[in-house]
Structures are given as structure tokens and as C-alpha cells.
Amino acid sequence: MSSHFSQPTFERVSPQQVERARKFQSAILCDVFGRRGTLAARVQALHPAMQVAGPAFTVEVRPGDNLMFHVALAMARPGDVIIVDGKGDDTCALFGELMVSQAEAAGLAGFVVDAACRDTDTLSKGVFPIFAAGRNPCGPTKGLAGTMARPIAVAGAPVQPGDLVVGDADGVVVIPRADVDRVLIAAEKKLADEKIRLEEIGRGELVSPWLHESLRAAGLPALPTA
């Protein structure tokens, strides 16, 4: 009797929420989410212009093996971001041009992988968003079990299937699906506040009022007045 992988079923952040999230930098989202949810700095875009936003399709693999990554690639839905706990391994690449080409053809939104990649000269010139933790020409093995569409931790950040993943030149942040609406509303306010502060700086108001308040709260001397 043969057995087959079951198509994973989980609630995803909505397409409308993803579109709203695209206008915010990862830094804005991280700040309003309590300065949490970011992946370690080793996970970076292959090119600074690359940006990604979409629901998390989670994968966990043993270091240096990409068998379950291939399974996820075959089963993820269009718009998903495949996010892989590769244990930060940089002794070989977990993916390259062939897997990215398959992901593009399947309409996936991007890769976020806590492990190395290869074919980076080609991939860094492409349009498919790729975030990885290093580069290595050595290929992976394809023979060890892993998990897919389950809760994982990637480069220090907890990730549930369907969570919002946003990445840009600063790095990657993951927002739990249940918190997305609240975080997006807070991000709108922070963006408006930062616009006001930039206008103040443009008028020559170089010291923000919060600095005076923080110095006083910390029991430190006040700044000299002009």
C-alpha cells in the first residue's frame, strides 16, 4: 500500500494584508512589533533591491540536506514564501538556480533560508527575492527527513505556517498572523510620525523632544540650550 504527502492546510495571512505590508520597511514593522520577530543578520538579500512579502510556508531540514525543501517547493501555493530552518549551515548550499527557476514558475513569492545558496551571480541579477545565510558552491544531500508546514524557529525568530514574512535590504521580519492587523495599523502611525520628524529636521529642529524626556527619566544632565 503506497502513501503520499498530504497537502498542508493552514490559515495564511490574507493577500490584502500582504499588499498593505509591502509599503513598510522591515525596520518599521519590527519596531512596532516590540522590536521582535527579526531573523539574525546572517540572513540577507542576495541583492539590496530584493524585497519579499507573503505568508510563511515553513520547512525544517537537517544541516546540509534539502530533501524536504524540494517537497515544500512542490507543495507550496502561489504567493507563499518558503522559509527554511537550515540551522545556519554554510558548509554547502541548500538551493541554486534550478530550484529558484521552479519557484518562479510556480508563482512563489520568495525564499528565506537560514543556510547557504549557490549560483549567486545569476540569482543576484534576477527578480526572484532570495534571502540566505551565506554562499557555498558545494551541493547538498537529499536523503534526510525534515518537517514541513509546522512551527519552526529560523535564525532566532519563531515562525508559524501562514505568518507574515517581510524582507528587504535590512533583513527579514516575521509577524504572527494574529498580530498582523494591529501591527499594520501601528506601522501606519509610525510612518506618519517619522514624516513629521523629518519635516522638523528640515526646519532645523535637530533635537527631538523625547531625548530631553529620556535624559531626565534616566537622571542625566539636560542638554545645553541654544
- Binding-site residue ranges: 96-99, 118-119
Binding site, annotated residues for substrate:
96-99, 118
Whether the CA torsion 21, 26, 28, 29 is positive or negative: it is positive
Could you give the 3-state DSSP secondary structure of residue 12?
coil
Phi-psi region for residue 213, left (φ > 0), alpha (ψ -120 to 50) or beta? alpha
Q: How many CA atoms lie within 13 A of 24 on its CB side?
A: 31
With 0-12 / 13-18 / 19 or more C-beta atoms within 10 angstroms meaning exposed / middle / buried, residue 44 is buried
- The cell for 211 is 531625548
Binding site, annotated residues for Mg(2+):
119
Phi, psi of 45 (to 5 degrees): -65, 145
Whole-number Å distance between alpha carbons of 117 and 132: 7
What dihedral angle (degrees, nearest 10) is formed by the CA atoms of 187, 11, 167, 144?
Answer: 150
